[in-house]
Amino acid sequence: MQSYRFALDLTPRQERVVLAHAGAARVAHNWALAWVKAVMDQRAAERTYGVDEASLTPPLGWSLPALRRAWNAAKDEVAPWWRECSKEAYNTGLEAL
């Protein structure tokens, strides 16, 4: 078995772009995690108040398509600079969740 190790020799501009895309993935991941956790906490609180299951806040899907739909609906408020990075950067963060 053989392996190779490569080092990136990025220009300062390329490094900024790579870091921006990594940050974009992190923003999308953290936003989606907070959103899903808030709904889960809300449902748990409603249960302690005696709210029946049919009347609870609707649960959220954890599937990638569901997270992408939610992100696309909220991205203008959450990350007004979202156009500066590839949509795949945000997708990577959501997919990791």
Q: Which two tokens stand for residue 19?
A: 């870091």
Nearest C-alpha neighbor of 47 from the set 38, 55, 37, 59: 55
Nearest C-alpha neighbor of 93 from the set 85, 17, 7: 85
Q: Per-domain residue ranges for the chain?
A: 13-96
Q: Which two tokens stand for residue 18?
A: 């790579």
Contact 70, 32 (CB under 8 A): yes
Kindly report whether the global pTM for this prediction surpasses the value 0.85: no
64-96: per-residue pLDDT in tens?
999 999 999 999 999 999 999 999 999 999 999
Contact 22, 96 (CB under 8 A): no
